[in-house]
Amino acid sequence: MATFIGYNSINQYKKFTLVDFDLIKRDLINALNIQQGEVPGRPDYGTVVWSYLFENQTPTLVEMITAEIQRVAAGDPRIFLNDTQVFQQENGMLIQLLVSVVNGSTAEQLAIFFDQNTRRATYV
């Protein structure tokens, strides 16, 4: 597996370097925190999941959310999304992802909470 090196200043005080899967997770959460169309010159970057938060959770809506998460994950060539599960929560939505690194041998379960009140996606 190749080594990925990047930088992060969110909740970091001394060490700003991230490598490998930590960097991939940070890049994924950044993409999920940006509403689609907010980045100038990149209208497809970000997600429309935020517009689904206040909708009633129906099987059709779950399919739309799953397709949107797969679209965002497909924008990162370093990862492959194996499974997605959507759970309605009291103040938002919990999405569990089974993510594996391309050319890697392991998969990791990620739980991302989309909070209606703070309008932020965070790892749980």
At 20-51, the pLDDT tens digits run 777 788 889 989 999 998 888 988 889 999 99
What pLDDT is recorded for position 87? Answer: 94
- Measured CA to CA, the distance from residue 35 to residue 8 in angstroms comes to 20
Q: How many CB atoms lie within 10 A of CB 123?
A: 11
* Number of neighbouring beta carbons within 10 Å of residue 5: 10
Cβ within 8 Å of residue 25, ≥6 positions away:
110, 123
Instruction: Specify the DSSP element, H or E, that contains 53.
Output: none
Of the candidates 29, 26, 101, the one whose C-alpha atom is nearest the C-alpha of residue 72 is 29
CA 86/CA 88 separation, integer angstroms: 7
- How does residue 3 score in pLDDT terms, banded at 50, 70 and 90? low
pLDDT at 95 exceeding the cut of 70:
yes
Complete domains list, the chain, with CATH: 5-123 (3.10.450.40)
Q: Do residues 117 and 17 touch, judged by C-beta distance below 8 A? A: no
Q: Which residue has the higher pLDDT, 41 or 18?
A: 41
